[in-house]
Amino acid sequence: MRMPVSAVPLSRRTGPVILRDLLPGTSRSVTAKPAVPNRLMSTRWLAGTCTADPRRPSSTMRRGVLPCITTWRAWSATRMRMVRCGSCFIWLPGNACATICWAVLPFTASEKASLRVSGAAWATEAASTRARPPAMRDRGVTLSNVAPVRWIGRNACSSAKWGSVIPMDAARAERIRAAMAKAAGSRWCGEFLASVVTDDEAPAIVHGSPDRPFFIASATKLYVTAIAARLRASGDLDWDAPFADYLTGTGVGGLCVVDGVDHTPLVTVRQLLAHTSGIPDYFEGRRPDGTNTFLQVLAEDFAWGLDDVIGWTREMPAPFAPGTPGRALYSDTNYQLLGAIIERVTGMSFAAAVQAHACDPLGLGDTWCMDASSRGRYDQVARFRVGDMLPAIPLAMSSVGADGGVVSTLRDSQRFLRALLAGELFDRAVIGEITAEWRRIFRPLRYGTGIMLFRLPRVMAPFGAPDFIGHSGASGTVMFGVAGTGTTIVLTTNQAERRDLPFRMMVSVARR
C-alpha cells in the first residue's frame, strides 16, 4: 500500500507511517503495511506527537544522527548501540524510531543525508544500514514483524500520552505491593502512602488510603507550571517578559545582586520557572546570621508574606546573574514570586487559582492550597516528621503558597500528574518545551522549566534505566512518571529528614 505522507496528518495516524515527502530529492517511498495498530500498543496513543524539538542543537549532530536524538552510546566490542529519545529521555536500542514506536525506519546512505524533519512532529534516528540485511533496507518493516525489535515496542516511549506499554499482570502487581509494604516498614517513614498507575483504565495499586490528604510540598510547583502555561495560552502571561513588570509597586529590586550590579530587572518569568534567575532561596538558604526560614519554623511556627520573603532574600548573596549558561539554583523565592504574579494576573488568590485552573477542570475534589482561610483544616492532613519531631506548623504551611502549600490525595495526585504529562490542561507542545533542557540542581536531580528529572546514577544503572519526570517535595513526596512505561508513581513518606528515602522507594517500586 502506498500513499503520500501528506494524505494523513501526523497527529491522526494510527499505524506505521509512509515517508515519501519527508525525503526531499528522492522518488523512493518506504512501503508500510495498512494502518493496523501494533498489538503491543494501545490505539489511544497515536503516532506523530513527539515533544522533542528536532531543531535543538546537540552533540549528536557531529556524529551524523538527527538532532532530536539527544545522545547515543556505542559499545564496539558487543556491536551494541543505544540512542536517547529527545522526548522522554529513555535509552533505547539503536536503529529504530525512538518515539513513535510503530515502525523501524530503514534508509539508504543518501536518504540519511537528505532526511529532514520539520517542527516537533517526529523524533527518529537515521537507522544504520550495517545492522540489517539488504532485504530489510528495501522495504518498510513494522515492529510486529521483526522479533529483535519487539522489545522496543514494549519499552519505547509513546509521547502522545503516558499510556501503558508495559502491561500490569497479577504477578507484577503483587511484586509492587510487596515493595510498598517493605518501604512502609522503614523506621524512617512517617505515614506511608503510595499509588502506582499503569493505565488510565486499570485500577491503581495503592498502599494506604487513596483519599488520605497530605502535603505535597514542592510538588506544588507542578500546579504553578500548569497555571502559568494556561495563562500564557490565554495571552495573560508572557514567559519571556521581566517578572517585575507584573509586580509593579511591590518593590522587588535587589533580589539578584552580583558584583554590586542589580540584575533583578532582567529576570524573566521563564527564569523563575526554571530556577535560572540567580535569586537566592528564602526557605532553606542560609542568611548572614546562619539561620534560615526552615530552621526558624521548626523552632517556632509563624506566618509570613511576600514582603518578608523579599526582605530575607535580599540578605543573601546571589550566586550568579540570571540566565548564566549551565547554572541553576533551586529557590523557593522564585515560586513565591510566581504565586504573586498569578494573583496579579488572575485577580484571585493563589489558592483560588489552583481551584479554577486545575481542580475544577480535572474534577479534583480533595485537592486545595492551604492559606489563612483554610488554616483550620490543618489537623485533617497527614503530619510529616522531621527526625523525631512531629511539628505542628499550620501558620508556616499556610504561608508557603505557590512554593509548597497544596494538599492532595493519592487519587487526585495521580489524576493531576497523568493529565499534566498528557497535556490535558494545556497544549501538549508545552511538555516538549518545558523538558527540552535540563540543568543540574542537586545530584541526581535536574530541572527543566517548572518540572524535575530524576535520573539514576550511572553506577546504579550502567546500561541505562527509565528516567522519572515530575516533581518531589520536602515532605517526602514524589510525583513522577516513569519514562517509556506509561507508569505514574505518587508516594509520600511524610518525613523531611531523609530526602533520599522517597526516591529509593520510588525506584524500588518502579523496578517491580
Domain assignment present for 170: no
The pLDDT of 173-202, averaged and rounded, is: 86
Q: Give pLDDT, residue 221.
A: 98
Q: Could you say which of 105, 120, 155 is where a domain stops?
A: 155
Query: In a 3-state reduction of DSSP, which class is residue 504?
Result: helix
Q: What is the pLDDT of residues 219-236, one digit of tens each?
A: 999 999 999 999 999 999
Look at residues 494, 384, 485 and name the one whose alpha carbon lies nearest to residue 152: 485
Comparison of pLDDT for 257 and 432, the residue scoring more = 257
Domain count, the chain: 2
CA distance 323 to 276: 6
Query: In a 3-state reduction of DSSP, which class is residue 122?
Result: coil
Residue entry with cell 475544577: 360
Residues 458 and 358 in one domain: yes
CB 258 within 8 A of CB 329: no
- On the question of pLDDT at 457 being above 90, the answer is no
In DSSP terms, 477 is beta-bridged to 473, 492
Residues 59 and 201 in one domain: no
The pLDDT of 464-478, averaged and rounded, is: 87
Domain assignment present for 208: yes
Domain assignment present for 223: yes
- On the question of pLDDT at 422 being above 80, the answer is yes
Torsion of CA 194, 195, 196, 201, to 10 degrees: 170
Residues 201 and 106 in one domain: no
Domain assignment present for 163: no
Residues 42 and 106 in one domain: yes
CA distance 245 to 127: 48
Question: Exposed, middle or buried, 237 (CB in 10 Å: 0-12/13-18/19+)?
Answer: buried
Question: Exposed, middle or buried, 480 (CB in 10 Å: 0-12/13-18/19+)?
Answer: buried
- On the question of pLDDT at 388 being above 80, the answer is yes
Q: What is the pLDDT of residues 284-340, one digit of tens each?
A: 999 998 889 999 999 999 999 999 999 999 999 999 999 999 999 999 999 999 999
- On the question of pLDDT at 274 being above 70, the answer is yes
Q: What is the largest CA-CA distance in the chain?
A: 74
Q: Could you say which of 120, 137, 155 is where a domain stops?
A: 155
Q: What is the CA radius of gyration of the chain?
A: 24
Q: Give pLDDT, residue 55.
A: 35
Assign residue 348 the CATH number of its domain: 3.40.710.10
Roughly what angle, to the nearest 10 degrees, separates helices 501-510 and 170-184? 160
Domain assignment present for 379: yes
CA distance 369 to 156: 36
Comparison of pLDDT for 106 and 388, the residue scoring more = 388
Contacts 24+ apart (CB under 8 A), 448-452: 448/274, 449/225, 449/270, 449/273, 449/274, 450/221, 450/222, 450/224, 450/225, 450/228, 450/273, 450/274, 451/222, 451/225, 452/480
Residues 80 and 197 in one domain: no
Q: Name which of 23-27, 83-87, 376-380, 496-500 the model is least confident about.
A: 23-27
The pLDDT of 503-512, averaged and rounded, is: 77
Q: Could you say which of 155, 190, 216 is where a domain stops?
A: 155
Domain assignment present for 136: yes
Q: Which residue type is seen at 423?
A: G
Q: Name which of 199-203, 281-285, 352-356 the model is least confident about.
A: 199-203
Q: Cell numbers of 66, please?
A: 538527527
- On the question of pLDDT at 120 being above 80, the answer is no
Domain assignment present for 58: yes
Q: Mean pLDDT for the chain? A: 73
- On the question of pLDDT at 503 being above 90, the answer is no
- On the question of pLDDT at 455 being above 90, the answer is no
CA distance 404 to 368: 11
Residues 188 and 150 in one domain: no
Element (H, E) at 412: helix 410-422
Distance of CA 435 to the CA centre of its chain: 7
The pLDDT of 440-448, averaged and rounded, is: 88
Domain assignment present for 401: yes
Please, what is the Cα angle at 157 between 156 and 163, to 5 degrees?
120
Residues 236 and 331 in one domain: yes
Dihedrals φ, ψ of 246, to 5°?
A: -95, -5
Residues 186 and 110 in one domain: no
Q: Name which of 48-62, 117-131, 314-328, 428-442 the model is least confident about.
A: 117-131
- State which residues form the domain around 261: 181-510
The pLDDT of 266-286, averaged and rounded, is: 97
Residues 209 and 134 in one domain: no
- On the question of pLDDT at 84 being above 70, the answer is no
Look at residues 89, 56, 362, 4 and name the one whose alpha carbon lies nearest to residue 200: 362
Residues 422 and 298 in one domain: yes
Residues 213 and 93 in one domain: no
- On the question of pLDDT at 472 being above 90, the answer is yes
Residues 92 and 209 in one domain: no
Look at residues 155, 97, 54, 161 and name the one whose alpha carbon lies nearest to residue 464: 155
Confidence label for 357 from pLDDT (cuts 50, 70 and 90): very high
